[in-house]
């Protein structure tokens, strides 16, 4: 076991734990942001540098600080290590620099991007980005590519996190896409624009932290914050059948895998569940999906509907006959939730 202190909070973790995993065990705001690491994918992490932290004390045996920020997703803890994330202004400045680099070629066309509202880069830029850009050169631009009939690649938005490549490698059989070229001409490519066509290919959409890989059956149908996510399952012979349905009114606009509190997919789902089962009758509905309260998707408060209705009912019973209950949040109408 090793004792590590992150932003003043000490935790004991098994040997071999990374700083990021230790921070996630502590939880809360001190957890560094991640764009390329994904706990369900082997060898992910180490590409984007958003998870960098400052190691102010290497270990009990060798207390020297590390000379520069390290990627927390790839650095294992040592006994007695002391780490700074939010408590180091230098580190936050360094992370702002990383974000600036990530955005150098990024179009930031959030108003027309399907990922808006659930985009890790949007959140990262909001929390760590700078208001303006210092970049004066033309941004690199690519044509959109249809990868099969269900997925579209918009390379302008890709941050080369490699998550989709690792997903195709580890979750599907027969990867037909990857990163070609190096440096600022590197790009995701299917080489000869092969269709990514196998039962689990749709998972690349869920792991993409930005709007580079999007679901063509959902494109431009709705902003995510107007939809209501519900957890549901069905008996599926190919995958666990545990999904998230995104409703607008009675209509299921899209089906995705479920995500944990770190935005990572909990179980891979097959393309049949994702693309072919879009009727409520295909599913057993479990109830509203839990959405992190920091997310714009939670704005409709539907999860607390039951408590809200009970509260209104209690207030209604307590009022003199004929008098109506006024809702605290003007926009909250329980009949519309
Ligand atoms: S990928 Fe994210 S940051 Fe980029 S345009 Fe889309 S929503 Fe905005
Ligand atoms: S397409 Fe998405 S998942 Fe794939 S490398 Fe680019 S940003 Fe990452
Ligand atoms: S999340 Fe650690 S380098 Fe990308």
CB of 109 within 6 A of ligand 1: the answer is yes
Distance 73 CA to ligand 1 centre (A): 23
Ligand 1 atom at shortest distance from the alpha carbon of 210: 1
Separation CA 6–CA 10 (nearest Å): 6
Ligand 3, atom nearest to 46 Cα: 3
Q: Is 50 in the pocket of ligand 3 (CB under 6 A)?
A: yes
Best substitution site from 147, 208, 214 to test ligand 2's pocket, by max atoms within 8 Å of Cβ?
A: 208
- pLDDT (0 to 100) of residue 293: 62
What is the structure's pLDDT at 306? 59
For residue 124, how far is its CA from the centre of ligand 2 (angstroms)? Answer: 16
Tokens of 195: 């269709």
pLDDT value, residue 128: 87
Q: What are the pLDDT digits (tens) for 172-187? A: 877 777 887 888 878 8
Centre of ligand 3 to C-alpha 32, Å, is 9
Ligand 2 site, residue 163, Cβ cutoff 6 A: yes
Identify the pLDDT of residue 122.
Answer: 92
Distance 95 CA to ligand 3 centre (A): 11
Q: pLDDT value at position 330?
A: 35
Residue 191, pLDDT score: 59
What is the mean pLDDT, run by run of 10 residues, along the chain of 337 residues? 97 97 96 97 96 97 96 97 97 95 90 93 88 85 88 93 91 80 81 67 94 94 92 96 96 96 94 96 94 67 57 64 48 36
Q: Is 20 in the pocket of ligand 2 (CB under 6 A)?
A: no
Q: Rounded CA gap, 172 and 147, in Å?
A: 15
C-alpha 289/C-alpha 202 separation (Å) is 20
With a 6 Å cutoff on the Cβ, whether 154 touches ligand 1 is: no
Ligand nearest to the CA of 123: 1
Q: Verify whether ligand 1 is closer than 6 Å to residue 102 (CB atom).
A: no
Region for residue 190 given its phi and psi (left: phi exceeds 0; alpha: psi -120 to 50; beta: otherwise): alpha
Domains of the chain in sequence order: 2-100 (3.10.20.740), 104-131+139-215 (3.30.70.20), 224-298 (no CATH), 301-336 (no CATH)
User: Cα dist. 156→203, 211, 314 in Å?
Assistant: 20, 9, 53
With 0-12 / 13-18 / 19 or more C-beta atoms within 10 angstroms meaning exposed / middle / buried, residue 265 is buried
């Amino acid at each position: 076991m090793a004792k590590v202190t992150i932003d003043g909070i000490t935790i004991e973790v098994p040997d071999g734990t990374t700083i990021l995993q230790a921070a996630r065990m502590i939880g809360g705001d001190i957890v560094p942001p991640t764009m390329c690491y994904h706990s369900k994918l082997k060898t992910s992490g180490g590409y984007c540098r958003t998870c960098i932290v400052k190691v102010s004390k290497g270990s009990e045996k060798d207390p020297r600080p590390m000379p520069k920020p390290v990627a927390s997703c790839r650095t294992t803890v040592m006994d007695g290590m002391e780490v700074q994330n939010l408590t180091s202004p230098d580190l936050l400045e360094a992370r702002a620099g990383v974000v600036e680099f990530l955005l150098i070629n990024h179009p930031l066309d959030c108003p027309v991007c399907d990922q808006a509202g659930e985009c890790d880069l949007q959140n990262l830029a909001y929390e760590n980005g700078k208001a303006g850009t210092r970049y004066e050169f033309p941004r690199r631009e690519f044509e959109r590519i249809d990868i099969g009939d269900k997925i579209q690649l918009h390379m302008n938005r890709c941050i080369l996190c490699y998550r989709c490549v690792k997903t195709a490698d580890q979750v599907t059989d027969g990867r037909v896409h990857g990163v070609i070229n190096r440096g600022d001409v590197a790009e995701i490519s299917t080489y000869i624009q092969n269709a990514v066509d196998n039962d689990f290919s749709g998972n690349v959409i869920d792991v993409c932290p930005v709007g580079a890989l999007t679901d063509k059956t959902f494109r431009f149908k709705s902003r995510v914050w107007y939809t209501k996510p519900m957890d549901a399952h069905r008996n599926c012979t190919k995958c666990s059948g545990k999904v998230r349905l995104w409703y607008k009114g009675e209509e299921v606009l899209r089906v995705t895998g479920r995500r944990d509190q770190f935005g990572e997919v909990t179980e891979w789902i097959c393309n049949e569940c994702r693309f072919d089962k879009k009727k409520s009758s295909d599913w057993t509905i479990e109830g509203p999906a839990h959405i992190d309260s920091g997310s714009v998707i939670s704005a409709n408060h539907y999860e607390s509907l039951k408590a809200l209705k009970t509260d209104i009912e209690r207030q209604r019973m307590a009022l003199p006959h004929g008098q109506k209950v006024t809702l605290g949040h003007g926009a909250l109408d329980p009949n519309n939730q």
